[in-house]
A and B are shown apart, each in its own frame.
Chain A
Amino acid sequence: MRDAFIGVLTELAPRHPELILLSGDLGFGVLNDFIAHFPRQFLNVGVAEQNMSGLAAGLAMEGHTVFTYSIGNFPTLRCLEQIRNDICYHNANVKIACIGGGMSYGAVGFSHHATEDLAILRSLPGMLVLSPCDLWEAAEAARYLLSHRGPAYLRLDKSSAPVTVQHGETFRPESIRTVREGSDVTLAATGGILGEALLAADALAEQGIHCRVLSVHTIKPLDTDTLAAAAAETGGIISIKEHAVDGGLGGAIAESLMEAGVFPGFFVRMGLRNTFSSVVGSQKYLRTVYSLDAASIVRTVSSKLWIAAEVLS
């Protein structure tokens, strides 16, 4: 997703002379092309994320479209107050790009895992929160952000789901993408982990269980209509994300459905449950450890449908 994102910035930078990319001394190798072509539109601000975010606000106040770029929690939690006060309160046109959403950085360790960012960033007034699931969505999200005014957070995952875009489809932040139809259960995923949901849906289809799979690339604003339809038309909703269960995608879905007065048959939040991702391993391995892989999704669906069947019988 990182390369798709930078590819779009590199493609569009000539048409957006106001665009400026700030890096917190990260992006070795991958930013070379951008820097070589647009040296005036790039700044390595050093390992100083608070200053990066304040600078971004100041540049935006002078008419720039600013992207801040770093990994994990560095561009968000480290400088959260600058994001809140300097960027959001001033409605500054700053886009925060996090490379390494969820447990992308695997064995690098928990310090580099972004597993509370969605909950925290979506609570900020005026903040658009994008968390693409595949390479097409990542590129389209980046493209969208260049035309969007105001603060935004772009969470980019190292993993990505298979591209499911249909011919002629356009990326609309206000619309969740239904990447597979089904009526037994809804799997609502955000980030590359959507790939696990699709694998689970394949396995469940062999057992005659048809999952509706939703690619929730935008956490805020959240497409309540698509979720309400899923609640009404399928047996229940399972939210899936490489993130704490508290306040992330599952929390956002629960809030919006409760407020809309729509209640799914069952509701499960799959994610990290009051724990740090402290085990060492690759992103794929960690998904198995924390019960977020396709097999865990299959087990969750099976147990929920079994319970639902028991209740009905």
Chain B
Amino acid sequence: MSSALFSAAKSLANRIRIHALRMTSLGGGSHIGAIFSCADILAVLYGGILNVNAAAPESSGRDRFVLSKGHAGGGLYAALAERGFFPIEKLLTHYQDGSDLSGHVSHKLPGVDVSTGALGHGLSIAAGIAYAGKLKSASHRVFCLLSDGECDEGSTWEAVLFATHHGLSNLVAVVDYNQIQGIARTSEVLDLEPFADKWTAFGWAVKEVDGHDHEALHRALTTVPFVAGKPSCLIAHTIKGKGVSFMENTVLWHYRIPRGAEFDAALAELEGQS
């Protein structure tokens, strides 16, 4: 990845955060912390990793992307709008009456393959898409972005077992490991550690990366499959609320809606980074 591309992805991540801040400030609900923690991952994916094209959002050769952590839909909407899948102005209809932009990601929008929102569903669907790709000997890949919280779900591990058994090397799971789930830290709720060892023991090829380091993310995601014949898991160590100092690493900003002085302060911080 050239430095120009890195700079573009950095800038895309910043714009995703600013869009998401505005969108979640509109009220109704917010998962701003969860969006900010994966904004860099989304920016790297949509900044050059994923082979997708706004002019042909359903092209059969495209890479598939499943946002299993559907509560970060605002981040995906922002990435898609920035990539031209729909007008950026549409983002400000988020959560509003009559909008297509539901709080949890919706496939009614161009560029979104799968609607999610209930946790622990995405990896199974992604595995089904990947299995179909294998049957056709297709060359596209399937990327699935999971939260750490949804690794509490047994269904996630059912899909993990399946992907290994069938050698789904065209499947890449990226886990946004910010270590904070709905109302507490993962270590306090259901400790996932040793997390990488679990995926390895289940037969996946695993890499760990700083989920805000674009160069590291890009390097890892361009080397999939990490091991021939195996599904790949990239554990992205992230900070919930990344990008706004007072939102970082707090349980509070999983749900809190940015309003008033908090909104202004957050916007000022993000604009200062652009």
Contacts and interface: CB of A to CB of B under 8 A. Distances in A.
B224 to A, nearest CB: 18
B117 A85 contact: yes
A81 B159 CA distance: 16
B155 A51 contact: yes
Interface string A14-55: 000000000000000000000000001001011010110111
A154 interface: no
Contacts of A51: 124, 127, 155, 158-159, 161-162
Secondary structure class of chain A's binding surface, majority of residues: helix
Given A51-B155, A51-B162, A55-B162, A86 B129 contact: no
Interface stretch (A59-67, A174-182, A268-276): A59-67
A253 interface: no
B125 interface: yes
Contacts of A40: 135
A85 B128 contact: no
B121 A55 contact: no
B132 A85 contact: no
Given A62-B132, A90-B107, A55 B125 contact: yes
B231 to A, nearest CB: 14
Greatest chain B CB density within 10 A among A48, A53, A54, A90 is at A54
Interface residues of A, number: 25
Given A45-B162, A61-B113, A90-B107, A54 B154 contact: no
Given A45-B162, A48-B158, A55 B127 contact: yes
A186 interface: no
Interface string A76-99: 000001100110011000000000
A54 B157 CA distance: 13
A92 B15 CA distance: 34
Nearest to A41: B135
Greatest chain A CB density within 10 A among B115, B120, B155 is at B155
B62 to A, nearest CB: 12
A58 B158 contact: no
